Amino acid sequence: MNRVVYSIDGKDVRSIELDDAVFGLLVNEDIIWYAIHNELANKRLGSACTKDRGEVHGSNAKPYKQKGTGRARRGDKKSPIVVGGGVVFGPKPRDYSYAMPKKAKRLALKTILSLKAQSDMLKVVEDFSIVSGKTKDLLKILTNFTAGERTVIVLKDDDPFVKRAAANIPWLMYLSYNRLNAHDLFYARNVIALETAVKNLNGFYRQKEVEA
């Protein structure tokens, strides 16, 4: 699959070959859902906590005598039916994370990349960096490719200058080619991949398949 490489001014400069094993797969909705669900579950804190009647502070004495008052029979003020009492079957801290098979994770990411390429949401741009680290300099480049929609930049490495410039843009996310994120990548309306990042993706997933 051939793709146009754009300059930072939005002009066609050359073409690049996209590996069909990475960008030409059939869309597998199930594996995409599985990968996104896994990422969201792993981010979940699971810190919700309530006190049961054994943990609530208070006296164990009955509030009034068992008979003769005309009121319901009940125990101490820590009972779940009393305001301020313990909670029945309330949440406790827990770990929601679980492991996803590496092959399935890689397949999900390749499927999302294929989906973006086939939907014309993927644009390959020649390598650039924001030496000044200023947001306005990055926005000058982005205005040639997106109109402020949710966008992901796929970097060829951990470029601190681009990351610094992108920090103040709420609709922009950045990912390194070897640490992609299924959730951000899938929900992005535009994916801007640097030219070297695309070349690295072609080789990176090929190498992973050989190792597997």
Tens of pLDDT, residue by residue over 89-106, are 999 999 999 999 999 999
Residue 44 and residue 116: Cα distance in Å, rounded? Answer: 27
> Each residue of 127-164: pLDDT tens digit?
998 999 899 999 999 998 988 899 999 998 888 899 99
The CATH number of the domain covering residues in 2-27+101-211: 3.40.1370.10
Start-end of CATH 3.40.1370.10 domains in the chain:
2-27+101-211
Average pLDDT of every residue of the chain: 90
pTM of the model: 0.83
Q: Which residues contact 166 (CB under 8 A, 6 or more apart)?
A: 135, 138, 153, 172, 173, 174
**What is the structure's pLDDT at 209?**
59
Residue 194 falls in which region: left (phi positive, over 0), alpha (psi -120 to 50) or beta: beta
Does the structure show a pLDDT above 60 at 75? yes
